Amino acid sequence: MIVFERVTKTFGSTRALDEFTLEIAGGKITGLFGPNGAGKSTCLKMIAGLTRPDAGRVLIDGEAPGMTTKSMIAYLPEIDYLYPWMTINDAVSFFAGFYEDWDGAKYQDLLSFLQLEPSMMISKISKGMRAKVKLLLTFSRRARYVLLDEPLSGIDILTRDAIIRTIVKDYSTGEQTIILSTHEIQEVEGLVEDVVFIDRGRVKLAGTAENLRQLEGRSLAAIMKEVFRHGND
């Protein structure tokens, strides 16, 4: 379980999280939904231990993010972090040497599934192919927690489908926790089990996807429009 206890984080004059309080259950796919700048990426960076709260605390299975928790977490950032001079094989060699939970069998399976070749050079492949490579590196680990920050942003529809199919293919219910941050809610509505709507650094609405759909009598995408329409009135 991941817990945020009244977490506040500011960057200059911007308050990214404002006494943010949330519990994310283990063993599920949780969607963090909200507009750009809502605080979603800051949440993931805190779980990954890349930034620290100004106030409050974050706990991962009872531990503060740090050296103890880093081995549990696979983090896919929105930014393109791959060096252009690398081949896919170069990137894989780096990850496999750095992370003890690297799974060579999973890597080979995903390499074929995503239709990638180890000799492909990062500088010569499309943005969609680079997105697949990032997904390959993330899901070839046996991490307990997988953090995906806007994995569909700016990607063509066929690559989006491949990304979603990869998430479904790799996911083991009850064994792994996937936290998916996105504003592309329609694409992942059928994928998420728990939902958190975030705006201006605070939780606007949270619950299971199925319960929210039944209570509101509409899709998650429609609920999101209503939640943020009222929030901006």
In the chain, what percentage of residues exceed pLDDT 90?
Answer: 59
Q: What is the CA radius of gyration of the chain?
A: 18
| Residues 92-103, mean pLDDT to the nearest whole number | 90
Residue 181 corresponds to which amino acid?
Answer: S
Give residue 173's pLDDT band: very low, low, confident or very high (50, 70, 90): low
Residue 81: predicted pLDDT = 84
Nearest partner of 202 among 6, 61, 3, 67, judged by Cα: 6
Q: Which residues contact 126 (CB under 8 A, 6 or more apart)?
A: none
173 or 226, which is more confident? Answer: 226
Going from N- to C-terminal start, the domains of the chain cover 2-231
Buried b / exposed e along 158-168 (16+ C-beta atoms within 10 A)? ebbebbbebbe
Could you tell me the pTM of the whole model? Answer: 0.91
Buried b / exposed e along 137-155 (16+ C-beta atoms within 10 A)? bbbbbebbbbbbbbbbeeb
Residue 152: predicted pLDDT = 85
Q: Does domain 2-231 have CATH number 3.40.50.300?
A: yes
| Residues 182-211, mean pLDDT to the nearest whole number | 90
